[in-house]
Amino acid sequence: MTQAPRVTLSGGIDMPQLGFGLYKVPAEDAARLAGEALGAGYRSLDTAAMYGNEAGVGLAVAEAADGGLPREDVFVTTKLWNSDQGYDPALRAFDRSLSALGLDYVDLYLIHWPCPARGLFVETYRALERLLEDGRVRAIGVSNFQPEHLRRLAAECTVMPAVNQIELHPWLQQDLLKTVHAELGIRTEAWSPLGRGRILRDPVIAEIAAAHGVSPAQAVVRWHLQCGHIVIPKASSPERIRENADVFGFELTADDLDRIAGLDRGERTGSDPSEVN
């Protein structure tokens, strides 16, 4: 594939705009599929302590390094799980993730969910600031944070999150959050960018894809890129992994973008952040 464009995060770190997501990739398959993704040209891998597959991701990075792809050319994201919130628990959780990954540093470390009922996300975020200061992570950010959570970090912390990773796809376009991100200098990263596969059956997406001679998944990944989102589709076969990254030979028209804008119906395919604690 043509290498994905890179976006510059608020701290000055570059991140590939397209990455490979590993939610629900079994631990025993993670090294192989992450390795397929790197072989197909992806340069960003998205895992989490909760996915139970950090070790496989780290192995793929190490094997790629042995094969000539330097560690510093691969962008690794992992996430702190909800039960590890709090300042000291967060530092310990990071040590465990780093050790599972077998890496010296992580490129991007995220708080997985705000868990407002726990009341710990601000102090947890301060632990991430400490990791950044200590050079153990290159960038820090959050996931599933709502405007009120982001505004608390803006008021009470020193470093703004570089990204907020949120559910985002044509059926859930998140205009309000994207406006708040733009105001606060936070990059929008789309999780479940294919709506867990469901969007691919939308007739408007199918029509747009057919008009460009591409698959529905390719049309949706392309839509994310043209909207400026960081996008991390997951797939379980080498063919789909390659297909989802083969999105640089066509461009959606202004009319395509208008039609996809009309698909927003506020529909989640994953959990609602206000209900996760």
Ligand X SMILES: O=C(O)C(=O)[C@@H](O)[C@H](O)C(=O)CO
Ligand Y SMILES: NC(=O)C1=CN([C@@H]2O[C@H](COP(=O)(O)OP(=O)(O)OC[C@H]3O[C@@H](n4cnc5c(N)ncnc54)[C@H](OP(=O)(O)O)[C@@H]3O)[C@@H](O)[C@H]2O)C=CC1
Catalytic residue set: 51
**Region of residue 154 (phi > 0: left; psi between -120 and 50: alpha; otherwise: beta):** alpha
Query: Should residue 188 be labelled a site residue for ligand Y when binding is judged by CB under 6 A?
Result: no
- For 68, the 3-state DSSP assignment is coil
Residue pair 204/275 in contact (Cβ under 8 Å)? The answer is no
For the record, the structure tokens of 117 come out as 């009922």
Closest separation between CB of residue 216 and ligand Y, Å?
7
The annotation status of 112 as a binding-site residue, yes or no, is yes
Which residues touch 27 (CB under 8 Å, ≥6 apart)?
52, 53, 55, 56
Would you mind telling me the total number of residues written for the chain in this entry?
Answer: 277
191 binds ligand Y (CB under 6 A): yes
Question: Quick check: helix, strand or coil at residue 40?
Answer: coil
- 88 vs 249 by CB, closer to ligand Y: 249
Of these partners, ligand Y, ligand X, none, which one is at the site of residue 195 (CB under 5 to 8 Å by kind)?
Answer: ligand Y
Which of 9, 15, 18, 21 is in the footprint of ligand Y by CB under 6 A?
A: 21
Least distance in angstroms from the C-beta of 224 to ligand Y: 10
| CB 257 within 8 Å of CB 226 | yes
Residues near ligand X, by CB under 6 A: 23, 48, 112, 270-271
The dihedral through the CA atoms of 228, 230, 234, 237 has a sign that is positive
Sole binder of ligand Y in the list 15, 31, 101, 217 (CB under 6 A): 217
Of 18-26, 68-76, 80-88, 149-157, which part binds ligand Y (CB under 6 A)? 18-26
Residues 6+ apart with CB under 8 A from 158: 129
Residue number, 64 or 214, with CB nearest to ligand Y: 214
Question: In the complex with ligand Y, which residue's Cβ is closer, 158 or 271?
Answer: 271
Name the segment binding ligand Y (CB under 6 A); options: 32-40, 86-94, 119-127, 236-244. Answer: 236-244
Among 16, 141, 170, 233, indicate the residue that binds ligand Y (CB under 6 A): 233
**Count of residues touching ligand Y (by CB under 6 A):** 28
Backbone angles phi, psi at 13, to 5 degrees: -85, 140
- In this chain, which of 44, 53, 97, 165 binds ligand Y, going by CB under 6 A? 165
SS3 167: strand
Annotated binding residues for substrate, written as ranges, equal: 112
What are the binding residues?
A: 112
